[in-house]
Structure 1
């Protein structure tokens, strides 16, 4: 295919996960059911936190914000994938591709920053319990979420601006099921070394800083728990952050796994399949992790369902 001027490129083609016709009904059913479970599960978390006054605390405020971000994160990619499988069309408009990429980076970064805010909340609750209500006041909680959204918007727009610097494409076929920034740069005809450097720096900063904050918080938490004399006290203190720690390991574990698999494998299609882990599976499992490991959430969900019935 001849190189095309960026201004003349009106659409791209998403190659998806598989071109095997026999797999399409299986993929359709799998992603449709997964998406419905993800949206329903996260909506139940949000409704439970909103309707139950016992859950009007900083921890559950951040949890409901995370659930909302998870809905946005999975809704950025999965509905388009489902529509492509159903209609047998892989086309996505250039503007739609940039929009999808922008929201994907926005909600992905927001997930990471909200997990960091939740780690800080657990740090204050365990290490400074007497000052918890004073420190984690509604104003600070709202500010943390607002700052997280602002940083996520900045990171999203920086990624978009990097892609917009590309002027020629050697191909319009994206070996993925969504518009991944790195995939778009791989299609560029011009030298994208500087673009890749900028993108990796922005990606590293938006990933390294939250991870550093989480590790710092948990180092202080572990140090504080080890000073608790009784084993029951240690268990009670650690159980308050068990769900959050599980979600952190799932989110960053799948993300790191996808990064390593794409770095080792030369097949972009295998990288696309691996991406399902953090774009689809992780947002679906988060509500289950919090509801199964948290008695307050269980009670709130039971009261919510009882009221609805």
Structure 2
């Protein structure tokens, strides 16, 4: 292959720019032309494509978000949308495509591969909800953003002797809530994979009050429910003064951590290697600090699971 393309799709994640940079410079190192597709699959359909150079990715490794932008594209889920995308790729002479994103982005890459156009997926999502890899690009940065926020909230919780419910991202996966809760000593962690009984949460709060505990931190993944509604239920059940903080999209932004920059660089470069080796329909990942790759179709049939040992430890340490 002498000409490749790269796009970012779905929600942005810190470290995507580092992955783009790695793809571009790895291609140029191997004398392969590289084209950036702006606004994900929507830009692909519209032909929003430009050639990238070494200087195109200068000074972006430390930036959050994505230089190539991102957009949702329902049209690409259709046969017609996919056909238009392939026509644009052929028009620009692009022979292989690297897709940086989550499971929705990978489904698009799978469809292109099935239609004969080689694609490689790079997992970029703060939720860390992709099977086949220990970590996804953006997870570590988002986790540290959450921890920093909880540390500040805990200062206020201690000063005013209040219970705080902190809602974090994680519609279908609880890794952000679990890791943040364990790292910050939360009294209760609520995640989609384990629906804790409300009465158990209340009993834990009351036991804390009985032994003189003055404040509590509860981490709630958005997939479990509304933090505001949950906080109101706690207040009604215990008469404990309760406040709620919804962290929202602050979790997506910010300069990526060293861990995310290195991970993104490794995964982006590996994706180029796979295409140059003639492989297609694969996802790159990391397991036990070793780079791996799996069939995207196989990955999409699997579900990322939480670390059961960590979850049990969070219970044992929150007595």
The two structures have a TM-score, normalised by structure 1, of: 0.23
Q: Which structure dedicates a bigger proportion of its chain to helix?
A: 1
Q: Could you say which structure has the greater relative contact order, defined with CA pairs below 8 angstroms and 6 or more residues apart? A: 1
Q: Which structure dedicates a bigger proportion of its chain to strand?
A: 2
The two structures have a TM-score, normalised by structure 2, of: 0.22
